[in-house]
Amino acid sequence: MKTKFATFLLFVCMVQAVAAQHIYFFAGGNRNLKRDEITILHKNKNNENTKYKMVYDWIRIDVSKGKHDLQIKSSEFDQPKLLSVDLTKENALFFEINLSDTSWKVLKKSKEEAPTTVTYDFEVFEKENNLTSRLKDHPKTKWDTQSLKKYLTSKNEGMEGIYEVYSKHHSKSSYTLGIVKNGSNYDIIYLSGGNDNWKQGDLKGRLITTGAENTFKVDWYMSDKFLEKDHYAEFYEKNRLGIVLSNQTLYYIKTFPVVD
């Protein structure tokens, strides 16, 4: 049986995107993992094994959707551990290799029980891997620049308008946005700027009213269309908008309708 060998360094684990499902292994127990102690064999559909060395204290193995057989070996013990997993309905599984001086176990864990480095890797990978789906399913509005200007010329709820970033320090976030009242809240509409993920009329976010005048909670779609909630925004003199994202404030100024 043909065996392929692949040594996976940490930075490779962080950027490789070859499959939608993931199997994570991380070290635990009352003994530290020795370098190159753990070897993992993954049997593919052709009945061939891919060999992984656990160089650091965790590793991610990317696999296709379905059932998989793995064999985990420790250089400190004779008997390998056999593991069958089913990733038909789950995107990821997490396993602790629990080590002591006299024994070792492979224990299934939840994502919440995994180390921070593992959960961070999983969340980053999922955001990137799900971009295609997010682009396809992103909410749209009925507005474009022309229809929005026509609406704003005939009706204007004060805060409604077309806004542009006026700080040169935020060139990567230099969107032109429309803001339109929707019930008691406001829709933020993408009009132009940013990257190719965006189309005119896409929903960029929502301003949600609070108990404080001119202060809003913000649901905001990031440049990769990942939704982040519970940010904040404030209107100033009804023609400037400051949106606080990740401890950084993006300042937008109303450019339409023009003040007489």
User: Could you write out the DSSP letters of every residue in 52-63?
Assistant: EE--SSEEEEEE
Amino acid 19: pLDDT: 53
The rounded distance, in Å, linking the Cα atoms of 21 and 87 is 7
Tens of pLDDT, residues 236-249: 876 889 998 877 88
Residue range(s) occupied by CATH 2.60.40.10 in the chain? 3-129
Average pLDDT, rounded, for the chain: 87
Whether residue 178 contacts residue 148, with contact meaning beta carbons closer than 8 Å, is answered with: yes
CA dihedral 165, 168, 171, 173 (to 10 degrees): -30
| H or E stretch covering 13 | helix 10-15
Amino acid 12: pLDDT: 38
Mean pLDDT, range 171-177, rounded to an integer:
75
| H or E stretch covering 150 | helix 145-154
pTM over 0.85: no
The rounded distance, in Å, linking the Cα atoms of 139 and 235 is 25
Greater pLDDT, 195 or 23: 23
Residue range(s) occupied by CATH 2.40.128.520 in the chain? 145-256
SS3 25: strand
pLDDT band at 209 (very low <50, low <70, confident <90, very high): very high
Q: For domain 3-129, give the fold.
A: Immunoglobulin-like (2.60.40)
Locus of tokens 């939608």: 20
**Domain 145-256: CATH architecture, name and number where available:** Beta Barrel (2.40)
pLDDT band at 46 (very low <50, low <70, confident <90, very high): confident
